[in-house]
Amino acid sequence: EAAEKAGFEHFMMKEIHEQPKAVADTLNSVIRDGKLDLSEIGLEEEVIRSISQIYIVACGSAYHVGMAAQYVIEDLAGLPVRVELASEFRYRKPLLDPNGLAVIISQSGETADSLAALRECREKGIRTLAIVNVVGSSIAREADNVFYTLAGPEISVATTKAYSTQLIAAYVLALQFAKVRGEITVEQCDSYIKELQTIPDKIQKIIEDKERIQWFAAKQANAKDVFFIGRGIDYAISLEGSLKMKEISYIHSEAYAAGELKHGTISLIEDGTLVIGVLTQPELYEKTVSNMVECKSRGAYLMGLTTFGNYNIEDTADFTVYIPKTDPHFATSLAVIPLQLLGYYVSVNKGLDVDKPRNLAKSVTVE
Ligand code: G6P
């Protein structure tokens, strides 16, 4: 096992470091000569034009990819997207638009609820597309079309590189739909692709700066509660950051849409409670800062996670992590990295079993 960890103490850290390559491989698998080429996935342009609605169905972190994808697809492709937890979707007798496309996202391709949701869609005659990491898995075999993520085998229960490659698949689909449906020009699509190609190096830079997070995590090991807040895509990032924290560090954490704080959660803020504000979306920046100020005035200890350049966050936050600039649609790919590292280092500090947290399984094949 030591050999498989390639010098890292845990699989999770190894897999965090594998993200630049996993993301680049997944992206390169659908780009030829700088242009999108989805011929291996087989969603013909005619089909893409006929789709009226996208249903994204998944569990766990894959559901959080769906939450981020919803904003990106709706904004770029102008197509309505609904995101649902597979365990809810399959039992709610969903009314599906016959021209809808169900996108099932799953690392293992074996999650029982996701597989059941896929079958439900197929029974109802809805076209299905799977975004799957494990080749030949049940979900990959049963879906009409498959977009394979190229993360390679993931051992750590808490997903990192599979999540990151699922995001790439979602962006690629958003761009392909946007281009085919005439929502963006070919030139605009090419420039989004160029930007996506910079993501692996930017992830690498964030990982290289991990000691700062390690230092901060050491101070948080005794935290009782952590709240992650953000709006829009930053809310989707918060959901994943919160899951990473709770699943491996056993610290209670919640992600909240920042605007909802006042409807309940703010009553939980006490002196020293850690609140992490995610601020990657320029249009929502000021709004989230003001929510952070509200938390601070109730005693919260604030961490800000934002883009280089937003230095005035230091007037509000006690500790700030900066990520490189990118197109805001793709910010999830960068902002999630410090949050993975934070969960990891808190868990290590507490001496917990990072790769195999209690009560959790890598693949949930029972209901
Ligand atoms: C488990 C894993 C999570 C994963 C979820 C969905 O809970 O611990 O990391 O996000 O299942 O798994 P899937 O294989 O369908 O992506």
pLDDT tens digits along 93-123: 899 999 999 999 999 999 999 999 999 999 9
Measured from the CB, is residue 30 less than 6 Å from ligand 1?
A: no
Chain-wide mean pLDDT for the chain?
96
Please give the distance, rounded to the nearest whole angstrom, from the Cα atom of residue 13 to the centre of ligand 1. 18
Nearest atom within ligand 1 for CA of residue 360: 8
What is the percent of the chain where pLDDT is above 90?
Answer: 91
Residue 141 tokens read as 């075999």
The predicted pLDDT at position 279 comes to 98
Distance CA 62, CA 56 (A): 10
Burial of 215 (0-12, 13-18, 19+ CB in 10 A): exposed
User: At 318, is the secondary structure helix, strand, or coil?
Assistant: coil
Split at pLDDT 50, 70, 90, the class of 365 is confident
Nearest CA to ligand 1 atom 2: 362
Q: Is the pLDDT of residue 334 over 80?
A: yes
Nearest atom within ligand 1 for CA of residue 166: 16
* Rounded mean pLDDT, 71-90: 97
* Rounded mean pLDDT, 68-74: 98
Measured from the CB, is residue 357 less than 6 Å from ligand 1?
A: no
Pocket-testing residue among 12, 105, 111, 239, ligand 1, by greatest number of atoms within 8 A of Cβ: 111
The predicted pLDDT at position 152 comes to 96
Measured from the CB, is residue 157 less than 6 Å from ligand 1?
A: yes
Measured from the CB, is residue 281 less than 6 Å from ligand 1?
A: no
Please give the distance, rounded to the nearest whole angstrom, from the Cα atom of residue 157 to the centre of ligand 1. 8
Q: Is the pLDDT of residue 3 over 90?
A: no
Distance CA 78, CA 161 (A): 28
Q: Give the predicted TM-score (pTM) of the model.
A: 0.97
Pocket-testing residue among 137, 147, 159, 245, ligand 1, by greatest number of atoms within 8 A of Cβ: 159
Please give the distance, rounded to the nearest whole angstrom, from the Cα atom of residue 230 to the centre of ligand 1. 23
Q: Are 274 and 303 in contact (CB under 8 A)?
A: yes
Measured from the CB, is residue 360 less than 6 Å from ligand 1?
A: yes
Q: Are 100 and 47 in contact (CB under 8 A)?
A: no
Task: Give per-residue pLDDT as tens, 29-56.
Answer: 999 998 999 999 999 999 999 999 999 9
The predicted pLDDT at position 135 comes to 97
Q: Is the pLDDT of residue 1 over 80?
A: no
Q: Is the dihedral of CA 114, 234, 80, 146 positive or negative?
A: negative
Split at pLDDT 50, 70, 90, the class of 255 is very high
Task: Give per-residue pLDDT as tens, 202-245.
Answer: 999 999 999 999 999 999 999 999 999 999 999 999 999 999 99
The predicted pLDDT at position 74 comes to 98
Pocket-testing residue among 364, 365, 367, ligand 1, by greatest number of atoms within 8 A of Cβ: 364
- DSSP H or E stretch at residue 304: strand 301-307
Nearest CA to ligand 1 atom 5: 60
User: At 82, is the secondary structure helix, strand, or coil?
Assistant: strand
Pocket-testing residue among 56, 137, 362, ligand 1, by greatest number of atoms within 8 A of Cβ: 362
Nearest CA to ligand 1 atom 3: 60
Measured from the CB, is residue 106 less than 6 Å from ligand 1?
A: yes
Nearest atom within ligand 1 for CA of residue 159: 9
Supply the DSSP symbol for 109.
S
Q: Is the pLDDT of residue 19 over 80?
A: yes
Distance CA 106, CA 109 (A): 5
Measured from the CB, is residue 340 less than 6 Å from ligand 1?
A: no
Please give the distance, rounded to the nearest whole angstrom, from the Cα atom of residue 97 to the centre of ligand 1. 27
Its ipTM equals 0.95
Q: Is the pLDDT of residue 2 over 80?
A: no
Nearest atom within ligand 1 for CA of residue 139: 15
Please give the distance, rounded to the nearest whole angstrom, from the Cα atom of residue 278 to the centre of ligand 1. 23
